[in-house]
Structure 1
Amino acid sequence: MVRVTDTKPQASSDRVQAGRQHCVESRHITQGRVMRLQGKVALITGAGSGLGRHCSVLFTGEGARVAIVDIDGDRAEQTLKLVEQAGGDAIAITADVSDKKQITDAVNQTVEHYGKLDIAWANAGIVSRGGAAALGLEDAVEFEDLTEDDWQHVLGTNLSGVIYTAQAAVPHLKANGGGVILATSSAASLVAYPKIALYCATKAGVNGLVRGLSLDLGRYGIRVNAIAPTHGMSPNFLMPPGAPVVGQSYEESAGPWNPTVSPIPLKLPRPPSLDDNAKVALFLVSDDSGYISGATIGATDGGTLARVGMWFPEDLNPEPVP
Structure 2
Amino acid sequence: MRMQDKIVAITGAGSGLGREGALLFAAEGARVVVSDAVPGRSQKVAGEIKALGGSTTAVDADVRVEADMNGLVDIAVEAYGRIDVMWANAGIPEPGFGMQPLAESSLEDWNNIFAVNTTGIYLAWKAAARWMIANKRGGALLATSSAASFTAYPGFPMYTASKAAVNGLVRAAALEFGKFGIRVNALCPTHGMSVNFALPAEAEVLGKSYEEMQPWDPDKRAMPLRLERPPVLRDNANLALFLASDESSYMSGQTIQSTDGGQFARTSIIFPTDLGQSEDITSGSIPEDLREQIDR
TM over 0.5: yes
**Partner of 1:228: helix, strand, or coil?**
strand
Aligned in 2, Cα 1:308/1:205: closer, same or farther, shift over 3 Å?
A: farther
Q: Deviations over 1:73-104 (max 9, x none)?
A: 21111111110111100011001101111111
TM-score normalised by structure 1 residue count: 0.81
Q: Deviations over 1:179-227 (max 9, x none)?
A: 0000100000001110110000000000000000101000100000000
Trace 1:106-255 onto structure 2 (pairs within 5 A).
106-131=72-97, 133=98, 140-174=99-133, 175-254=135-214
Out of 70, 78, 87, the position equivalent to 2:53 is: 87
TM-score normalised by structure 2 residue count: 0.88
1:105 aligned residue: 71
Aligned in 2, Cα 1:198/1:155: closer, same or farther, shift over 3 Å?
A: same
2:230 aligned residue: 271
AA matched with 1:158:
N
Out of 59, 65, 72, the position equivalent to 2:25 is: 59
Q: Is the Cα contact below 8 Å between 1:50 and 1:234 reproduced in 2?
A: yes
Out of 77, 87, 92, the position equivalent to 2:43 is: 77
**Partner of 1:268: helix, strand, or coil?**
coil
> Sequence identity, in percent?
47
Q: Deviations over 1:215-264 (max 9, x none)?
A: 1000100000000000001011122211111111110112x211011111
**Partner of 2:40: helix, strand, or coil?**
helix
Q: Is the Cα contact below 8 Å between 2:15 and 2:41 reproduced in 1?
A: yes
Unaligned runs of 5+ in 2: 269-296
CA distance in 2, matches of 1:308, 1:239: 32
AA matched with 1:301:
D
CA distance in 1, matches of 2:137, 2:73: 17
Quote the offset at 1:176 in angstroms.
Answer: 4.5
CA distance in 2, matches of 1:116, 1:308: 46
AA matched with 2:90:
A
Quote the offset at 1:307 in angstroms.
Answer: 2.2
Does residue 286 of structure 1 match 2:245? yes
Unaligned runs of 5+ in 1: 1-34, 134-139, 310-322
**Partner of 1:205: helix, strand, or coil?**
helix
What CA RMSD, in Å, does the superposition of the two structures yield over aligned residues?
1.0
Q: Is the Cα contact below 8 Å between 2:136 and 2:180 reproduced in 1?
A: no
Aligned in 2, Cα 1:176/1:80: closer, same or farther, shift over 3 Å?
A: farther
Q: Is the Cα contact below 8 Å between 2:144 and 2:188 reproduced in 1?
A: yes
Structure 1 residue ranges (4+ consecutive) displaced by more than 4 angstroms after TM superposition:
none
